[in-house]
Amino acid sequence: MSITENLKRIKNTLPNDVALVAVSKTKSISEIREAYDAGHTIFGENKIQEMVEKWENMPKDIQWHMIGHVQRNKVKYMAEFVSLIHGVDSIRLLREIDKRAKQNNRVINCLLQIHIAEETTKFGLNANELNELIHSDTFHKMKNIAIVGLMGMATFTDDTNQIRREFRFLKTLFDSTKKTIPNISILSMGMSGDYEIAIEEGSTMVRIGSSIFGARNAH
Ligand SMILES: *Cc1c(COP(=O)(O)O)cnc(C)c1O
């Protein structure tokens, strides 16, 4: 099936209140252009350099989401245009984003990434670190970032019960975080292989790549 057909099929199955981030990492400008021409404007990338090049070469009404691990020394390259950073997992990174956002006269929307998977390779805060961060003075003093929600990735496994448990745990943290940051509204969870479960467990934003664009080459 074509990119256009895949997009249409997936959008038809998503509830109205669930946003779709089309994950376009490793994909070419012309592939992204096909999705854009089909009416899609939210794209996710996991490398800052690659996202900057695509931003430079694509229409300016596209919203670019950074979904990968962010190195602090590269925040400056995307601060001018990035619309949502999904993978914030430290106060130091948040401070850098705040500083670069200020230089650009912007408030940059961020999600705090929570470690919910079994694998140790996936980035993110644990429940205690989340709690510490959202109650810290440093966080409350920052004026050029807005925490608008949480993000997490489930374990890569066939065990759907485990995936469900991990998403459910993230939803619990999301609900409790709301008591400290009442205006958070985004729960970014679910990818091609597990987004149906994520939606059943309360996701409001899914990040889907291969089911739209086809398999990726090794990255
Ligand atoms: C690559 C990636 C996705 C999309 O994965 P697919 O399985 O291709 O849908 C979603 N989220 C993050 C953080 C990713 O790096």
Answer whether residue 219 shows pLDDT above 60.
no
Question: Residue 173: what pLDDT?
Answer: 98
Question: Residue 150: what pLDDT?
Answer: 98
Q: Alpha-carbon distance 107 to 85, whole Å?
A: 12
Q: Alpha-carbon distance 10 to 7, whole Å?
A: 5
Q: Which residue has the higher pLDDT, 104 or 1?
A: 104
| Contact criterion met (CB below 8 Å) for 154 and 117 | yes
Residue of 48, 191, 208 to mutate, ligand 1, most atoms within 8 A of C-beta: 191
**209 touches ligand 1 (CB under 6 Å):** yes
Kindly report the average pLDDT of the chain as a whole number. 96
Answer whether residue 218 shows pLDDT above 70.
no
Question: Residue 120: what pLDDT?
Answer: 77
DSSP state of 107: -
Pairing of strands 108-114, 84-88: parallel
pTM of the shown model: 0.96
- Residue carrying structure tokens 């895949």: 6
**pLDDT tens per residue across span 76-127:** 999 999 999 999 999 999 999 999 999 999 999 999 999 999 887 668 999 9
**pLDDT tens per residue across span 51-71:** 999 999 999 999 999 999 999
**214 touches ligand 1 (CB under 6 Å):** no
**pLDDT tens per residue across span 124-173:** 999 999 999 999 999 999 999 999 999 999 999 999 999 999 999 999 99
Answer whether residue 5 shows pLDDT above 80.
yes
Exposed/middle/buried for residue 114 (C-beta within 10 Å: 0-12, 13-18, 19+): buried
Task: Tell me the residue ranges of DSSP E strands in 11-154.
Answer: 19-23, 42-45, 63-66, 84-88, 108-114, 145-152
Question: Residue 32: what pLDDT?
Answer: 98
Residue of 115, 207, 210, 217 to mutate, ligand 1, most atoms within 8 A of C-beta: 207
Question: Residue 141: what pLDDT?
Answer: 95
Q: Alpha-carbon distance 4 to 35, whole Å?
A: 6
User: pLDDT tier at 1 (50, 70, 90 boundaries)?
Assistant: confident
